[in-house]
Amino acid sequence: MSLRTGLVAALLSAAAAVGAAAPAPAAVVPVELTARHATVQVAPGVRMEAWTFNGTMPGPTIRVREGDVVQVTLRNAEPPRGHHGRPMWHSVDFHAAQLAPNIGFAGVAPGQEKTFSFVASRPGVFMYHCGTAPMIEHIGMGMYGAIIVEPAAGRPPAHEVTLVQSELYGRVHDRRLHGSAAAMRARRPKYVVFNGRAMRYMSEPIPVPVGEPVRIYLVDAGPSLASAFHVVGTIFDVVQPDGNPANVLTGVSTHLVGAGGGAVFELTFPEPGVYPFVTHAMRDAAAGAMGRFQAG
Ligand code: CU
Ligand code: CU
């Protein structure tokens, strides 16, 4: 038995123990991530050559169940000499995992790949991101995403939405955002975005039902700013910091999610209409972190 197979077997038996009390048996969930450069749209008419997982920013939203074994394969598809003459390593750090990061989250050289596994032992919504130094640049250039770990006992039915807030730094030239490490270090974002694009849901409102439960999974990917998340015209019935159903706040208008954090928000839209959502840090909302729900 190889070290890897042994590890997976050990994880599986651990997962089975967790799964014993769960309605659904634990599964091994393969997650394939490829680190590569890709051109993405970041604002109306503005593109950027981002560093991505799987060609999108944020990377794919991963969904597993509490107790599942998440088997991550990370491929580094960068050219051997990099895009600017230096080979670029990448890695992936899951906040849903509990393991020695120097082993599980270790870097992968261009052209290489690695596999590691962890048990999704805690339910919630968590960030994942490239953990290669300088991390501020790997996250700031687009290497982040969300993983949702469903509680073993499930959640009540609801209309679900996933939002990832993050900042983008640099200068726009010829309708391209050119990333700036100096602006990242100065915390002067050009855009603050939900799901990768400034003002994205101002032009494409998210449809939601009236009078029925709506659940928002929010991750604040940073790299540096918090989200003061608020939906105008509503009060959250429930906020669960980190998305764990054991963490319950009720009757909350605005909730702060720090960089690297997540939360589940449950609310009900009282009547048909347009309900803006923002980070209530107004400088950041004006820089693109606002959108709209269209209820009814
Ligand atoms: Cu990276
Ligand atoms: Cu982290």
C-alpha 131 to ligand 2 mean position (Å): 7
**φ and ψ of 294, to 5 deg:** -105, 110
C-alpha 212 to ligand 2 mean position (Å): 34
**Position 25 confidence tier, pLDDT thresholds 50, 70, 90:** confident
C-alpha 104 to ligand 1 mean position (Å): 15
Question: Distance of alpha carbon 171 from its chain centroid, rounded?
Answer: 24
**Position 255 confidence tier, pLDDT thresholds 50, 70, 90:** very high
Position 292 scores a pLDDT of: 98
Position 187 scores a pLDDT of: 97
Position 84 scores a pLDDT of: 78
C-alpha 171 to ligand 2 mean position (Å): 26
127-167 pLDDT tens trace: 999 999 999 999 999 999 999 999 999 999 999 999 999 99
Nearest bound ligand to CA 33? 1
Nearest bound ligand to CA 53? 1
Q: What is the residue extent of each domain of the chain?
A: 3-150, 159-295
58 preceded by cis ω (within 30°)? yes
Of the candidate CATH numbers 3.40.50.1100, 2.60.40.420, 2.60.40.10, 1.10.3720.10, the domain formed by 3-150 belongs to: 2.60.40.420
Element (H, E) at 74: strand 69-76
DSSP string, 124-185: EEEEEE--PSSHHHHHHTT-EEEEEEE-TT-----EEEEEEEEEE-EEEETTEEEE-HHHHH
How many CB atoms are closer than 10 A to CB 234?
18
C-alpha 93 to ligand 2 mean position (Å): 6
Q: In which order are the strands placed within the sheet that holds 290-295? A: 206-208, 290-295, 273-279, 227-231, 254-257
C-alpha 129 to ligand 2 mean position (Å): 6
Residue whose pair of structure tokens reads 């209530």 in the numeric block: 280
Spatial distance between the Cα atoms of 79 and 201, rounded to a whole number of angstroms? 35
Read off the tokens for 160: 């679900």
Position 283 scores a pLDDT of: 98
pTM, full prediction: 0.91
62-117 pLDDT tens trace: 999 999 999 999 999 999 887 778 899 999 999 999 999 999 999 999 999 999 99
Nearest bound ligand to CA 258? 2
- Nearest to 268, CA basis, from 202, 191, 209: 209
Report whether 227 contacts 165 (CB < 8 A).
yes
Nearest bound ligand to CA 142? 1
C-alpha 100 to ligand 2 mean position (Å): 13
Question: In the 8-state DSSP scheme, what is residue 272?
Answer: S
C-alpha 206 to ligand 1 mean position (Å): 30
Instruction: Round the average pLDDT of the chain to a whole number and report it.
Output: 93
Nearest bound ligand to CA 147? 2
Nearest bound ligand to CA 35? 1
Position 1 scores a pLDDT of: 35
Report whether 290 contacts 235 (CB < 8 A).
no
Report whether 277 contacts 263 (CB < 8 A).
no
C-alpha 277 to ligand 2 mean position (Å): 25
- Nearest to 219, CA basis, from 80, 74, 59: 59
By CB atoms closer than 10 A (0-12, 13-18, 19+), residue 13 is: exposed
Report the greatest alpha carbon distance in the chain.
60
> Spelled out in words, what is the top-level CATH class assigned to the domain 159-295?
mainly beta
The answer to whether 3-150 and 159-295 have equal CATH topology is: yes
C-alpha 143 to ligand 2 mean position (Å): 11
pLDDT at 2 over 90: no
Nearest bound ligand to CA 87? 1
C-alpha 147 to ligand 2 mean position (Å): 13
Read off the tokens for 203: 């032009």
198-229 pLDDT tens trace: 999 999 999 999 999 999 999 999 999 999 99
Mean pLDDT, residues 247-272 taken together: 98
Position 11 scores a pLDDT of: 42
